[in-house]
Amino acid sequence: MPPARTPASPGAPRAAADAPWPGAAAPGGTAPVLCGLGSWLPPRRVGNDELSRELDTSDEWIRSRTGIGHRHVADAATATSDLAVEAGRRALKSAGTERVDAVVLATTTPDRPCPATAPLVAAQLGLGTVPAFDVGAVCTGFLYALAAGSGLIALGTARRVLVIGADKYSGILDPRDRSTRVIFGDGAGAVVLRAGDPAEPGALGPPLLGSDGTGADLVAIRSGGSREPLREAADGAADPYFRMDGRTVFRRAVERMADTSLAAAERAGWAAGDIDRLVAHQANLRILHAVADRMRLPRDRCAVHLDQVGNTAAASIPLALAHAVAGGRLAAGHRTVLTAFGGGLTWGACALHWPELTPV
């Protein structure tokens, strides 16, 4: 396995041969460049022991099977848009701008089924009448939203896009279901993309995305959609809660995240060992390790944040990025791969040289 390369010094010019995306985008500033990062967690922190008092579970089981120690839980008055606005405001500050041309929000827990939550978030951020829409790809949502935001830049619709991942899973979990209650937490993270040059640090490689709808039942809320409207479900038969076949999802998550990450690295011209940081969706520590093992990547190159926040679904990657930068584990020049897997089934990966920025 080739040794990891030394990260470039912040702001150092790159040789053409080291350009992240040779030929990936036409010159003229249409490449999406990550230039701001913000995050927000609701203040209430719930430890494993607190859950063990309500459910038939234990700190030992949760830590050993998932790696999770705590998660943050929003209060009843807080909606996903509130989390998204907090993270979005911080990402704008991190990018040093008050204006963007579009807002893309990844979420599975919109404030309401209709309309989308992104326009409300844009309005609350004072962004005027910019285009704003939601993206639904469950735990892969942030990568799908990055792709959508990148497309807006590539097509010239926007020069700057706010991409947010926000979820309040505490509102869709069955309070009696120990298999999901212990895993998920609430939170939001956001980035700003701006139009730039494909050779700049922060320029995103093409997000590689996939889906397999034959696995639609593995992660699902059964009732409340057009297939089974709540009002038509037989008395007592409706199930409005989020359900997951964890064991099956585990296996597929490892395969898809590892293989797509390797493909994204290859598109960047990197071998697996060249990856300095793998920032994967924070579903389970055992999954992170298995992904690294399958990629033949040292496990310590994986960003780990789930011990403190659990699985925050669409918010997971930007929250893990902010945590890694704040802790000095992710620095300018690092060859970074983002990857996720979630309901749909959906998955994706994207590579970039980490830029110089200060998360807020």
Residues that bind ligand UT7 (CB under 6 A): 57, 61-62, 65-66, 139, 178-179, 182-183, 246-247, 249-250, 253, 283-284, 287, 311, 341-342
Q: Is 281 a catalytic residue?
A: yes
Q: Give me the least distance between CB of 346 and ligand UT7, in Å please.
A: 9
User: Hey, what are 70's tokens?
Assistant: 């705590």
Taking the least distance from each CB to ligand UT7, the nearer of 167 and 274 is 167
Q: What is the C-alpha to C-alpha distance for residues 252 and 139, in angstroms, rounded to an integer?
A: 14
Q: Give me the least distance between CB of 63 and ligand UT7, in Å please.
A: 11
Taking the least distance from each CB to ligand UT7, the nearer of 94 and 261 is 261
Q: Give me the least distance between CB of 243 and ligand UT7, in Å please.
A: 11
Taking the least distance from each CB to ligand UT7, the nearer of 267 and 286 is 286
Angle of CA points 358, 202, 325, to nearest 5° = 35
Set 48, 70, 139, 353: catalytic member: 139
Taking the least distance from each CB to ligand UT7, the nearer of 138 and 148 is 138
Nearest to 273 by CA among 209, 335, 349: 335
- Rounding to the nearest 10 degrees, give the CA dihedral for residues 33, 34, 35, 41: 160
Taking the least distance from each CB to ligand UT7, the nearer of 130 and 244 is 244
Q: Is 345 helix (H, G, I), strand (E, B) or coil?
A: coil
Q: Is 139 a catalytic residue?
A: yes
Whats the size of the chain, residue-wise?
A: 360
Q: Is 72 a catalytic residue?
A: no
Q: What is the C-alpha to C-alpha distance for residues 277 and 73, in angstroms, rounded to an integer?
A: 28
Q: Give me the least distance between CB of 180 and ligand UT7, in Å please.
A: 8
Q: Give me the least distance between CB of 347 and ligand UT7, in Å please.
A: 10
- Helix H, strand E, coil C: the string for 42-93 is CCCEEEHHHHHHHCCCCHHHHHHHHCCCEEECCCCCCCHHHHHHHHHHHHHH
User: Hey, what are 278's tokens?
Assistant: 């793998």
**Number of CB atoms found within 10 A of residue 288's CB:** 23
Taking the least distance from each CB to ligand UT7, the nearer of 97 and 179 is 179
Set 48, 70, 72, 281: catalytic member: 281
- Rounding to the nearest 10 degrees, give the CA dihedral for residues 175, 176, 182, 186: -10
Set 311, 323, 350, 353: catalytic member: 311
Q: Give me the least distance between CB of 253 and ligand UT7, in Å please.
A: 4
Q: Give me the least distance between CB of 24 and ligand UT7, in Å please.
A: 29
- DSSP letters, 142-179, are HHHHHHHHHHHHHTTS-SEEEEEEEE-GGGTS-TT-HH
Q: What is the C-alpha to C-alpha distance for residues 269 and 17, in angstroms, rounded to an integer?
A: 10
Q: Is 37 helix (H, G, I), strand (E, B) or coil?
A: strand
Taking the least distance from each CB to ligand UT7, the nearer of 14 and 178 is 178
Residues marked active site are found at: 139, 281, 311
